[in-house]
Amino acid sequence: MSKSKTIKPDLTHTHANTGVVADIRIGDCREQLAKFDQVKSSSVDLVFADPPFNWARDYDRHETGDAWDDAALSRNEYLDFTYEWLDLCADALKPTGSMWVNIPDDSAAEIVVHLKKSMHMVNWCIWHYRFGQNTTGKFINSKVHALYFCKDPQSRTWNADPILEESDRRAIYGDPRTESKRDGMPAGMRVPMDVWYGKFWGRIQGNNKERRAKHDNQLPELYLQRVIACSSNPGDTVLDPFLGSGTTGVIAHAMGRHFIGTEYSQANAEMAFERIVQGPVRELDALRGGSTAIHKTRRPKNKKSSRKKAAVGS
């Protein structure tokens, strides 16, 4: 039986230091995904998807006329489209693989119900930001759902160490019990909670140095770093069916993962590819192990020291 012919990607780049490869195909993901050998062989380790929201957003900032029309589909057509690409991505995963979907309120429930038919939910996370669009007739939206599913909960790839952060018990309260705990985590550290926020976690807009021109929706680099670090290993393959501004490819490539992605618009794909070659804007490990505590320290970390100072002062 003859092997199917490998179709070359439209854009490809090999990292000079690590040798990992980033391949991009231009067109509808439902047609382009099957051209990747990794998809055909179900050897993808991680899928991250930030799909069109069906909000009539302008994805044609380049005014080329070849971008995705976010107003073309009815609600039912949009859901059919969503289920189709979800199934394609799920089938592309290894048994140890995971899928993350970034989606707003409108379709989060439908996606969860659909994926639960063939995958296991690990977390329903929230990306929280403080700059939501102003409204007067309802509460202002300040979040997007980060839905985390896996093929097999027992064998899924999971790396806690690179995403650990300082616990509130240490950062706020200086609680000595966290320094001698025996919960499997290093002293004073924890796995992040399922609501994500903090420095460099806000929406990418205005004069944010991560912002790329002519992209409608761009995710923070730290968001993708967390997902890729916890759900894949160096040398693994990461797939993004909606390349957009390219953040998934940028971070995956910089972190030593192979990357494959599709993008409907040629102009957007070319800009994203340029960004992948250039690499991240942020120092990805600069905030590693830090605190995301909302409140400032409420009591001294060294109570004995503070008592001595108080005694001297009196």
The CATH number of residue 239's host domain is 3.40.50.150
pLDDT at residue 253 above 80? yes
Residue 303 has what pLDDT? 53
- CB under 8 Å, gap of 24 or more: what pairs does 112-118 form? 112/147, 114/82, 114/83, 114/86, 115/86, 115/90, 115/147, 115/149, 118/87, 118/90
Lowest mean pLDDT among 72-86, 123-137, 211-225: 211-225
Residue type, 253: H
pLDDT at residue 33 above 50? yes
Give me the phi and psi of 273, to 5 degrees please.
-60, -40
Lowest mean pLDDT among 57-66, 222-231, 264-273: 57-66
Q: What is the average pLDDT score of the chain?
A: 88
Lowest mean pLDDT among 88-92, 191-195, 282-286: 282-286
pLDDT at residue 2 above 50? no
Mean pLDDT to the nearest integer, 122-126: 98
Note whether residue 1 is domain-resident: no
Give the separation between CA 190 and CA 163, rounded to whole angstroms.
Answer: 9
Structure confidence at residue 301 as a pLDDT band (50, 70, 90): low
Note whether residue 154 is domain-resident: yes
pLDDT at residue 305 above 50? no
- pLDDT tens, position by position, 75-86: 999 999 999 999
Counting the structural domains of the chain, the total is 1
Note whether residue 5 is domain-resident: no
Note whether residue 93 is domain-resident: yes
Note whether residue 6 is domain-resident: no
Residue 179 has what pLDDT? 93
Q: Which tokens sit at 181?
A: 């705990």
Residue 59 has what pLDDT? 65
Give the best-scoring range by mean pLDDT among 129-143, 145-159, 297-311.
Answer: 145-159
- pLDDT tens, position by position, 196-211: 998 888 776 666 666 6
Note whether residue 250 is domain-resident: yes
pLDDT at residue 128 above 80? yes
pLDDT at residue 94 above 80? yes
Note down the domain range covering 116: 11-313
| CA-to-CA dists, residue 283 to 156, 255, 287, angstroms | 28, 12, 8
Note whether residue 293 is domain-resident: yes
pTM over 0.85: yes
Residue 284 has what pLDDT? 85
Give the best-scoring range by mean pLDDT among 4-8, 92-96, 305-309.
Answer: 92-96
Note whether residue 4 is domain-resident: no
Looking at per-residue confidence, does 151 or 55 come out higher? Answer: 151
Are the C-beta atoms of 191 and 164 separated by less than 8 Å? yes
| CA-to-CA dists, residue 93 to 38, 90, 218, 238, angstroms | 9, 6, 25, 10
Structure confidence at residue 158 as a pLDDT band (50, 70, 90): very high
pLDDT at residue 243 above 70? yes
- pLDDT tens, position by position, 164-189: 999 999 999 999 999 999 888 999 99
Mean pLDDT to the nearest integer, 35-49: 98
